[in-house]
Amino acid sequence: MSSSRAPVLYIPHSVRPAYLGPADFRQCPVEMFEQTSRMRPALLKLGDALVAKKPKGFVVISSYWANDDHGVAVNEDSTNPLVYKYDLRDRALTRSKLDGEFFNVRFTSHGDAAMLDAVKRALKDGNVPFESKKRGLDNGVMFGEKTDIPIVQVSLYGEDDIKLATELGKALSAVRDQGYTLVCIGQPLTRPDTQSISDSESMDYMRAVRDAVTADDPLKATLALQDNPVFPKIPFKRDYQPLVVATAAVLPGDKSEIIAGGSDSVSRDYLGYDTGYEGPMGWVLSIHK
C-alpha cells in the first residue's frame, strides 16, 4: 500500500452498555467511562490506532445517521454540534437519567473545508448522489472529550440496500490516499428482546465477522454474512451497513489487523443482559492499513 494511505477502521458499538451506569440496569459497566471496564485496554489501543499515522482528518460513517432523502448526506457544519441518538427502545433508560447525565456528555471537535471538499469530490467521482446538511455528529462518533483532528460525518443511504452501501464504501476509499482515515461505526449483531438468537449462535456469528474482516477479500466475505443462518434473525440491518462500507473501502495492498476480537466464552458477568460487547456478542475492532 502507499505509505501515505490512511487506514480504514471498523468499530462495533452498542449504545446501551456504553451509557448505562451500574445503578441503572443489571450491573452494566459504563464501558466508555469507567477505568475498571474490561474493554478499556481495547479502547485505549483503538485510540492509539486512530492517531498512529497522524491522519489529516477522520471521515466517519455511523449507523445512527441514514439520510431521509435520496442519496447520502454530508455534514457541513464545521462546529460539529452533537446530535444525541440514544436508543429509546431501552425501557431502562429513564427520562431523569437521560436529562441528568446522558445529554450532558460533551465531545468537542471541528470540521475542515479541505476535507469536506475531498469527501464531496470522492462521492461525485464514485457516482454517489449526495447533499450537504448542517447536522452535526451523533453519539456514535464521540471519540473522547475533544480532538484537534478534523471530523466530517457522512450518512448512510436511507434504504437498506447493501449494493448502495458497497458503492458508498468504494467511493470513500479515495479519501484514504489523501491522508484521511475512514472510520465506520455500527454494531454487527443486535438481538431482539425475545432472544431468538442463542448465545452459541451469537458467538459463531461474531467469529464469522472476525473471519470476514481478515479474509483475503474482506468485502466478499462480509457480503457472504447475509447467508449466515443468524443474519435473518438480526432485527436492525442498518447496523450491518457500516461493516459493508468499511470492507468496500479496503484497497489492494492493505493489511488487516484485529485490534480487539472479543471473547470466545459464552459466560457473562452481566446477569444475562445482552451487552453488545463481551462474551457471545464479541468485539471486532479492525483496521486495514
Average pLDDT of the chain to the nearest whole number: 75
Look at residue 261 in the predicted model and tell me its pLDDT.
Answer: 60
Residue of higher predicted confidence among 287 and 231: 231
Domain ranges in the chain? 8-288
Secondary structure of residue 34 in the 3-state scheme: coil
Nearest to 9 by CA among 63, 59, 65: 59
Confidence band (pLDDT; 50, 70, 90) for 285? low
Q: pLDDT by residue (tens digit) across 98-135? A: 545 555 666 677 788 999 999 999 999 999 999 999 88
CA 93 to chain centre: 22
Alpha helices in the chain (DSSP H): 15-19, 40-51, 95-100, 113-125, 162-172, 199-213, 218-224, 241-248
Q: What is the C-alpha separation between 246 and 116, in angstroms, rounded? A: 19
Q: pLDDT by residue (tens digit) across 54-90? A: 889 999 998 888 998 889 999 998 877 777 665 544 4
Cβ proximity of 247 and 190 under 8 Å: no
User: Cell 490506532 appears where?
Assistant: 49
Q: What is the C-alpha separation between 115 and 122, in angstroms, rounded? A: 10
Element at 167 (helix H, strand E): helix 162-172
Q: pLDDT by residue (tens digit) across 219-272? A: 999 999 999 999 988 877 788 999 999 999 999 989 888 876 655 443 333 223
Nearest to 75 by CA among 33, 116, 124, 14: 116
Burial environment of residue 241 by CB neighbours within 10 A (0 to 12, 13 to 18, 19 or more): buried
Look at residue 205 in the predicted model and tell me its pLDDT.
Answer: 86
Confidence band (pLDDT; 50, 70, 90) for 286? low
Q: What is the C-alpha separation between 242 and 140, in angstroms, rounded? A: 12
Look at residue 55 in the predicted model and tell me its pLDDT.
Answer: 86
Give the predicted TM-score (pTM) of the model: 0.81
Cβ proximity of 286 and 256 under 8 Å: yes
Secondary structure of residue 206 in the 3-state scheme: helix
Q: Above 70 in pLDDT, residue 49?
A: yes
Taken in order 209, 164, 60, 276, the sign of the CA dihedral is negative
Q: pLDDT by residue (tens digit) across 144-164? A: 555 788 989 999 999 889 999
Secondary structure of residue 130 in the 3-state scheme: strand
Across residues 182-208, what is the average pLDDT?
77
Name the least confident of 220-224, 245-249, 275-279, 282-286: 275-279
Count other Cβ atoms within 10 Å, centred on residue 268. Answer: 16
Look at residue 234 in the predicted model and tell me its pLDDT.
Answer: 83
Q: Above 60 in pLDDT, residue 140?
A: yes
Q: pLDDT by residue (tens digit) across 18-40? A: 333 333 333 333 455 556 656 66
Q: pLDDT by residue (tens digit) across 166-176? A: 999 999 999 99
Q: Above 50 in pLDDT, residue 96?
A: no
Q: What is the C-alpha separation between 118 and 123, in angstroms, rounded? A: 9
Residue by residue, DSSP assigns 231-254 as: GGG-S-GGGGHHHHHHHHT--TT-
Look at residue 273 in the predicted model and tell me its pLDDT.
Answer: 30
Look at residue 180 in the predicted model and tell me its pLDDT.
Answer: 95
CATH number (3.40.830.10, 3.40.50.11540, 3.30.365.10, 3.40.50.720) of 8-288 reads 3.40.830.10
Q: What is the C-alpha separation between 51 and 243, in angstroms, rounded? A: 21
Q: pLDDT by residue (tens digit) across 4-14? A: 789 998 887 64
What contacts 232, CB < 8 A, 6 or more positions away? none
User: Cell 473545508 appears where?
Assistant: 113
Q: Which of 92-106, 163-177, 189-203 has the highest mean pLDDT?
A: 163-177
